[in-house]
């Protein structure tokens, strides 16, 4: 039978949040064997995300855990300063380990809320025995960051990464997925604050897999099925003035 795809999405409140979640949900609805684990970066689950998930039509688990204040990015901090999603992804790993057994066939994917996913990506993941890898579009200063796949042996020979190419696994979070069995067996594999910027992917992978075990997918890493899109924060300068006058444009309407 087909494995369940467990997609772990850290998310936080901001003007574009519901738009991001809507884009993701409407992609995920096309994947039948799908379970969405949404982890809010918040001390409590919010009404917006709770309502959104209830009416989404998806199978989901809703969790929340706040990033500790000392690790939270400040408004004007560049985003490489601190890792994002560490607390949330670890909460999801804990949930998987507490709620699933080795008899549950599954694949675990870290699906950030601002990326763009093709349905084709989720079909590829069904083939994963240990860790599957594939190209990611629009990341690391390149059009494509990808494993280099030998098309005779169908093995990963290296990586084309330009950004921090010395990382043990120079992959983006969107560029791999893990067989659930590996995460259930390696109960001490976690994301960590105690690593250099950009090393979260390497941190989790080095604990569960070796480079020669990676399984190249997406036609020997020649197809792009996920894009590291980033959503521009909206200009809300007029709204700020309305708020001061107590007349917001969205009074009583969820955006």
Which CB, 87 or 112, lies closer to Mn ion? 112
Applying CB under 6 A, the span of 99-107, 112-120, 140-148, 178-186 interacting with ligand UDP comes to 112-120
Compute the radius of gyration of the chain from its Cα atoms: 19
Is 85 a binding residue for ligand UDP by CB under 6 A? The answer is: yes
Indicate if 201 belongs to the active site: yes
Nearer to Mn ion among residue 112 and residue 215 (C-beta): 112
Q: Which of 22, 44, 79, 187 binds ligand UDP (CB under 6 A)?
A: 79
Q: Build a one-symbol-per-residue string for 134-153: x at contacts with Mn ion by CB under 5 A, - elsewhere.
A: --------------------
Q: How far is the CB of 88 from ligand UDP (least distance, A)?
A: 5
CA distance 167 to 200: 10
H helices within the chain, ranges in order? Answer: 17-28, 47-54, 86-99, 119-125, 180-185, 200-206, 218-221, 237-244
CA distance 10 to 91: 10
Judged by CB under 5 A, the stretch of 11-19, 109-117, 142-150, 163-171 that binds Mn ion is: 109-117
Would you please indicate which residues are annotated as catalytic (active-site) residues?
A: 201
């Amino acid at each position: 039978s087909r494995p369940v795809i467990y997609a772990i999405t850290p998310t936080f409140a901001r003007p574009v949040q519901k738009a991001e979640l809507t884009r993701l949900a409407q992609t995920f609805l096309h994947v039948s064997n799908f379970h969405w684990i949404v982890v809010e970066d918040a001390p409590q689950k919010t009404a917006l995300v709770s309502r959104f998930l209830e009416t989404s039509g998806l199978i989901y688990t809703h969790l929340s855990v706040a990033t500790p204040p000392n690790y939270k990015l400040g408004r004007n901090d560049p985003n490489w300063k601190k890792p994002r999603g560490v607390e949330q992804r670890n909460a999801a790993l804990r949930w998987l380990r507490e709620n699933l057994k080795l008899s549950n066939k599954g694949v675990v994917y870290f699906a950030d809320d601002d990326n763009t996913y093709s349905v084709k990506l989720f079909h590829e993941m069904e083939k994963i025995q240990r860790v599957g890898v594939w190209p990611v579009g629009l990341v690391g200063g390149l059009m494509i960051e990808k494993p280099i796949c030998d098309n005779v042996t169908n093995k990963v020979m290296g990586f084309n990464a330009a950004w921090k190419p010395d990382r043990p696994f120079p992959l983006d979070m969107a560029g791999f997925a893990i067989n659930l069995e590996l995460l259930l067996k390696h109960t001490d594999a976690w994301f960590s604050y105690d690593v250099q910027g950009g090393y979260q992917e390497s941190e989790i992978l080095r604990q569960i897999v070796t480079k020669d075990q990676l399984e190249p997918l997406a036609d020997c890493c020649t197809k792009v099925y996920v894009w590291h899109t980033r959503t521009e924060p909206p200009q809300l300068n007029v709204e700020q003035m309305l708020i001061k006058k107590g007349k917001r444009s969205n009074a009583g309407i969820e955006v």
